[in-house]
């Protein structure tokens, strides 16, 4: 049992978010799928090249990337990753934000 | 003409590289493909879930992620991305390291 690589989130600080959606959608040549709710921080960039999700996220932090790991059982997977040295940062809705022992931020999200 | 999303590189600083290969390969449940040349900084983590490449890279910098954009014509694509506000950081072998206007580091690599 392990996580599956689920996607990449291009996390953009507030001040560069709008420019970020424009740059990244034009760079990848895809139309951004904006959420109906303007306070929703996620803008999806459907990728033509693969089944991996790519999105731009507005964050209240410095710009960065993070990756999503998909798990059938988020709690069990978070515990397994803790045993491998990762730390839980915070729970959000249905997923866990975690930090790898290498310092990388990632989320463990439920399979849909 | 645009880049295609090509993959994610989990860049690990020297001090956490070996642990990083172990953590990320166990997290994703895949056997790492180590290069024959031990000075080669790339360890591939073949992803079971998609056609996107995932690798762990040893870097002489703080740990971070970066993404690869794949282009048929690297030079033309780097120029197009510059016009969108990205900056060239340095050329490496057959690709360009660039920084997006959002601050994100990425590479423009040739299609194989």
pLDDT tens-digit readout, B51-77: 677 888 888 888 899 998 888 899 999
Weakly modelled stretches of chain A, pLDDT under 50: none
Which residues of chain B does A112 touch, with a Cβ-Cβ cutoff of 8 Å?
A: none
Q: Are B20 and A106 in contact (CB under 8 A)?
A: no
pLDDT value at residue A107 = 92
pLDDT value at residue A52 = 74
Residue of B nearest to A52 (CA): B50
pLDDT value at residue B1 = 59
- Among chain A, residues having any CB pair with chain B shorter than 8 Å are 1-6, 8, 10, 12-13, 16, 19-20, 23-24, 26-30, 47-52, 54, 62-67, 69-70, 81, 84-86, 100-104
What confidence tens digit (pLDDT) does each residue in B3-36 have?
A: 777 788 889 888 888 888 998 888 888 889 888 9
The residues pairing with A41 across neighbouring beta strands, listed in sequence order, are: none
Alpha carbon distance B86, B69 (integer Å): 13
Beta-carbon contacts of residue B91 (< 8 Å; ≥ 6 apart) = B97
Q: Are strands B64-71 and B105-110 parallel, antiparallel or unpaired?
A: parallel
Beta-carbon contacts of residue B79 (< 8 Å; ≥ 6 apart) = none
């Amino acid at each position: 049992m392990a996580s599956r690589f689920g996607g990449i989130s291009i996390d953009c600080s507030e001040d560069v978010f709008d420019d970020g959606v424009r740059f990244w959608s034009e760079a990848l040549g895809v139309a951004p799928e904006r959420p109906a709710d303007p306070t929703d921080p996620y803008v999806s960039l459907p990728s033509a090249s693969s089944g991996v999700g790519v999105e731009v996220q507005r964050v209240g932090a410095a710009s960065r990337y993070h990756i999503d790991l998909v798990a059938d059982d988020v709690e069990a997977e978070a515990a397994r990753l803790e045993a491998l040295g990762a730390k839980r940062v915070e729970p959000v809705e249905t997923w866990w934000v975690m930090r790898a022992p290498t310092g990388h931020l990632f989320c463990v999200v439920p399979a849909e």
